[in-house]
Chains A and B, each alone.
Chain A
Amino acid sequence: QKEVEQNSGPLSVPEGAIASLNCTYSDRGSQSFFWYRQYSGKSPELIMSIYSNGDKEDGRFTAQLNKASQYVSLLIRDSQPSDSATYLCAAKGAGRRALTFGSGTRLQVQP
């Protein structure tokens, strides 16, 4: 079992809809969680971080964390074709462990 699990997709949504991306993690010691966006052929870039249970909003993006269920999600409101990319969920464990990434969910926003 991978430490961070994501559905590979593709997740296809129409322009203007809400895209919901999900992630589960196995290490209960994980302290903080991150969403990275990776366009095809490019490198990952950080778009959201979340450290405590609940919701965190930044513009059209909302990250949600439920540590009891070991579940992280990313909502993208008013999805745009430019949001089409692979979204990587990452968890940082306790101690000196570096970020562990999921395999990513490919999002396609249809115009």
Chain B
Amino acid sequence: DAGVIQSPRHEVTEMGQEVTLRCKPISGHDYLFWYRQTMMRGLELLIYFNNNVPIDDSGMPEDRFSAKMPNASFSTLKIQPSEPRDSAVYFCASSEGYNTGELFFGEGSRLTVL
């Protein structure tokens, strides 16, 4: 399997622009997670899905952030409008089942908002 695939790997945009990050989980994994990593705050959970249904979105910072999972093989995280404080590495991860604690991470999308 190719692992979790994220795109784009790098994104540089200007404040106020819309940003869409994409993720393809490992086939057969029923959980998908979006995390954000910064030096100041570490790795923070934004939202996670089970069988394409959002389960916990309490980590989504504000209404500017939205996430969807229209099918088992694709998820998006959208920021509109983007702000400089959104600059971070955004990781998508998937797992098979909930209790294993073994998350398989994608390579991340590094977002820079100028």
Chain A interface residues toward B at CB < 8 A: 2, 32, 34, 42-46, 49, 88, 90, 92, 96-104
Contact = CB atoms under 8 A, between A and B. Distances in A.
Contact of B55 (A96, A99, A103): A96
Nearest to B35: A101
A104 B107 CA distance: 18
A98 B42 contact: no
Contacts of B105: 43-45
Given A42-B107, A43-B91, A44-B105, A88 B43 contact: yes
Nearest to A102: B42
Nearest to A43: B105
A104 B55 CA distance: 26
Nearest to A50: B101
B102 interface: yes
A49 B91 CA distance: 21
A26 B28 CA distance: 33
B45 interface: yes
